[in-house]
Amino acid sequence: MDSILSVRNVSKVYRSGGRTLDVLQAISLEVEAASTVSIVGPSGSGKTTLLGLCAGLDRATSGSIVLNGTTLDELSEDERAYVRNQSVGFVFQNFQLLPTLTALENVMVPLELRGDRNSRTIAMTLLDKVGLADRGHHYPVQLSGGEQQRVSIARAFSNSPKILFADEPTGNLDAETGETIENLLFELNRDAGTTLVLVTHDLELASKTQRIIRMKGGRIIAP
Ligand SMILES: Nc1ncnc2c1ncn2[C@@H]1O[C@H](COP(=O)(O)OP(=O)(O)O)[C@@H](O)[C@H]1O
Ligand SMILES: [Mg+2]
């Protein structure tokens, strides 16, 4: 199997106020390039934490993660940011758009970081793709939750990621908007071969991915 993500015996421990919390324990998994995977499990089971480690947003306490050929374990924050910008898209549960930038500027950020000269044109095309061509000049507060989610998806697509992580991408959306977002994600997988790793509560969405990983209490309970 051509693996784009390899997680080996990873743990994550949070320490606060003299107490330790074992959030992830002995997690191992392989994700095949160009495949679609969903991660399901009860709230608090460690799904968001795992997604963040896989995407290089945070560091594991122990174990090893190889993402698109790069071992993340010993990388500095700046080096991880570079890896993310080169090959990773991330859709956050709460969008995480920059409030002082317009929708268009939010989508342009990853492109500007890469030094892309056509960032504005590419960002416009992506906003159009998510049905927001006419909202580019709006700030996040002027957009509904569903619209902000679509901007965050356009941003996640902007660097043509090899792998896209999405944390409950349809969680706060009405059925119709949720379906639009779902279609965009699967289209990206089909047309560009982008690997999709989705965290979701929606079992119907999960059933559309090639593989479902179940988590409970910081562990994978079924491959
Ligand atoms: N930064 C943090 N510091 C301390 N505990 C955290 C932190 N982030 C998450 N946790 C805890 O880790 C556990 C798993 O959280 P999370 O990964 O968000 O689960 P899920 O996404 O499955 O709901 C929860 O008990 C949560 O409170
Ligand atoms: Mg979560």
The pLDDT assigned to 181 comes to: 87
Output the CA 118–ligand 2 centroid distance in Å.
34
Note the pLDDT of residue 223.
60
The answer, yes or no, to whether any atom of ligand 1 lies below 6 A from the CB of 48, is yes
Q: In this predicted structure, what is the pLDDT of residue 186? A: 95
Separation of alpha carbons 19 and 5, rounded Å: 31
Q: Say whether domain 3-222 belongs to CATH 3.40.50.300.
A: yes
What is residue 44's predicted lDDT score, i.e. its pLDDT? 95
- Asked if 170 and 150 count as a contact pair (C-beta separation under 8 A), the reply is no
User: Separation of 49 CA from ligand 1 center, angstroms?
Assistant: 6
Would the CB of 42 count as within 6 Å of ligand 1? no
Contact 49, 67 (CB under 8 A): no
Predicted confidence (pLDDT) per residue in 90-117, tens digit: 999 888 999 999 999 999 999 999 899 9
Dihedral sign of CA atoms 125, 113, 118, 98 in order: positive
pLDDT value of residue 45: 96
Q: Could you say which DSSP state residue 223 is in?
A: -
- Sites in the chain below the pLDDT cut of 50: none
CB distance 76 to ligand 1 below 6 Å: no
How high is the pLDDT of residue 16?
A: 87
Whole-angstrom distance between the N-terminal and C-terminal Cα of the chain?
16
Q: pTM for this structure?
A: 0.94
Domain-by-domain residue ranges, the chain? 3-222
